[in-house]
Amino acid sequence: MNNLPAPVNLHTITDNLAEAVFLVDRNKAVAWLNKKAGELFNTSTDAAQGANIIEITNVKKLDSLLDDVFEQEAELNCSYEEAAVKVKSSDQRYFFKISINPVFYDQKLWGGLVQFTDVTRFHEMEKIKTDFVSIVSHEFRTPLTTIIVGVEMLKEGMLGDLTPRGKEVLEAIGADCERLSRLIDNLMELSRIESGTIYVEAEPTDVVDLVQEAVRPLKFQAEKQGIELITDMPPNLPPVAADFNKAVWVLTNLVGNAMRYTDPGGTITVRIRQRGKRLFFSVEDTGCGIPKEDQSKIFRKYVQVSGADHKGTGGVGLGLAIAKDIVMAHGGEIWVDSEVGKGTTFTFTFPVFYAQESVSLPEADHEGG
Amino acid sequence: MAKKVLLAEDEKNVILGVRTCLDAVGYDVEIVEDGDEALNSVRREHPDLILLDLLMPKVDGYEVLKELKGNDVTKDIPIIVLTAKAEEEDRQRAMDLGAEDYMTKPFKPQELWDLLKQYLHEHSD
């Protein structure tokens, strides 16, 4: 230790920390603070000593956070969203990640070390990303209108005759326009979810209606691809507590996915079963399957996984991520079972709707694996 | 006599697309490119139906809706909003202002024809 250069001392270190640090006692009174904390909250150790940290920082949430730490004597990390703080010394709004560590003295809990990490920039970047996605998807819609209207009218022969090759090319343009539209819808949905503006309104939802609405737009396409699309559900299923449009979105997305991986002559089965207070919706295909190593990452955003036969996906890896967000927002679960060469089954659950309880939360008996 | 449809839209390419679509099934189409013109045209021509974009110069689509639906002479003309604004709150705002229907871009010609038939009370053949 004696060989260390002079600047190596507690003050040099604490004064140069990027984090604002407070040491408080069991009564939440400030005992010490570092230079950054003084700058950020327009105070100093001399001025703040003995005062309650909530008064000094104006972060009301600290009260319950400190209570939790003192009670459990455990370290607590609070994510930045929960600790959005407006610092009183300026009009600027900062976002902090707050970490609290219990401090022991003489083997007894004495107080806590409270650290504020400035994550404002990170928060702003997230917001920019979400806004950007929303603007881009909005801006894509107008030019797509001209393209789709034009293509459809040309296809119908309303603007003159086409050669067989011309028709074929138009079919391809039409199919890719559909793909772009789907992508835009998915991006919009995702930016809504990420900006926290989405919420599910769970209402009693008839399962037959839900399945019919989800499968109807895909029936024609399945027929064209030579894929058999089967629905298998017992009679008298109870209603589920679900947001109808979002539930339809999830099911349509899973069936659409299955169609992209299933060859002509294959089968896709939409199966509904009740187990206890939950309904299990599964979409089973006879496609190429998903390799084991890819199964764990398919629900992540922007992750594209090609099937075992390396067929293109025609997506950007958002559908399943959104489906997962929607299912989880209903208190349900979603998972995949797949075997290369045999096929894939996606299953998700929704709680059964009971008139007495507005939403019945799922039990812990997970059926996946 | 052909039904008169007013298209209020400021994007040239969309105008071409929608106009072609409406011409093909025999509607009499009048085009305006901002909200102010839309209001003048409605007073002058009294169309059978209005296809209304929301984001337009001078007077936006919401204002047009408010004016037309708040006026006894024009309140019964069906208005279908055609817009790139896909947020639920935009739809709700337009419907609250009295729009008969709301279609998000992009759409297919058939979807547009179906809506026109529905609000012009034409039976499909």
Which tens digit of pLDDT belongs to each residue from B24-52? 999 999 999 999 999 999 999 999 999 99
Q: How far is A327 from chain B (nearest CA, A)?
A: 20
Chains A and B form CB pairs within 8 A to the count of 59
Put simply, the answer to whether B106 touches A153 (Cβ < 8 Å) is: no
pLDDT at A34: 95
Put simply, the answer to whether B84 touches A152 (Cβ < 8 Å) is: no
- Please state whether the peptide bond connecting residue B106 to the residue before it is cis, i.e. omega within 30 degrees of 0: yes
Q: For an interface test with A, which of B88, B102, B108 has the most A Cβ atoms less than 10 Å from its Cβ?
A: B108
Q: Which one, of A278, A245, A280, A241, lies nearest residue A358 by Cα?
A: A241
Put simply, the answer to whether A149 touches B84 (Cβ < 8 Å) is: no
> In A51-71, which positions are buried (b, 16+ CB within 10 angstroms) versus exposed (e)?
eebeebbebeebeebbeebbe
Indicate the SS3 state at residue B102: strand
DSSP element (H, E) containing B104: strand B101-104
Give the whole-angstrom CA distance, residue A205 versus residue A209. 8
Chain A residue with the nearest C-alpha to that of B111: A149
Mean pLDDT over the full length of chain B: 93
pLDDT at A369: 31
Instruction: Name chain A contacts of B17, Cβ cutoff 8 Å.
Output: 145-146, 149-150
Confirm or reject contact between A198 and chain B (CB < 8 A): no
Instruction: Name chain B contacts of A153, Cβ cutoff 8 Å.
Output: 20-21, 24, 109
Confirm or reject contact between A138 and chain B (CB < 8 A): yes
Confirm or reject contact between A173 and chain B (CB < 8 A): no
Put simply, the answer to whether A153 touches B18 (Cβ < 8 Å) is: no
Per-residue pLDDT of chain A (369 residues; tens, 9 = 90+): 567 777 778 888 899 999 999 999 999 999 999 999 999 888 888 999 999 999 998 888 888 888 888 888 777 666 544 455 656 555 667 788 888 899 999 888 999 999 998 888 887 887 787 778 878 888 899 999 999 999 999 998 888 899 999 988 998 898 888 888 888 887 887 777 766 555 677 889 999 999 998 888 788 888 888 999 999 999 999 999 998 888 988 999 999 989 988 999 999 999 999 998 899 999 999 998 988 888 888 888 766 666 666 555 556 677 888 888 889 888 889 999 999 989 999 999 999 988 754 443 333 333 333
Instruction: Name chain B contacts of A192, Cβ cutoff 8 Å.
Output: 87
Instruction: Name chain A contacts of B112, Cβ cutoff 8 Å.
Output: 149
Report the relative pairing of strands B101-104 and A343-351 from DSSP bridges.
unpaired
Q: For an interface test with B, which of A131, A139, A146, A193 has the most B Cβ atoms less than 10 Å from its Cβ?
A: A146
Instruction: Name chain A contacts of B15, Cβ cutoff 8 Å.
Output: none
Give the whole-angstrom CA distance, residue A208 versus residue A240. 11
Confirm or reject contact between B18 and chain A (CB < 8 A): yes
> In B36-46, which positions are buried (b, 16+ CB within 10 angstroms) versus exposed (e)?
ebbbebbeeee
Put simply, the answer to whether B109 touches A142 (Cβ < 8 Å) is: no
Residue A180 in tokens: 């772009």
Put simply, the answer to whether B14 touches A146 (Cβ < 8 Å) is: yes
So what's the ipTM on this one?
0.89
Instruction: Name chain B contacts of A181, Cβ cutoff 8 Å.
Output: 106
Give the whole-angstrom CA distance, residue B48 versus residue A41. 64
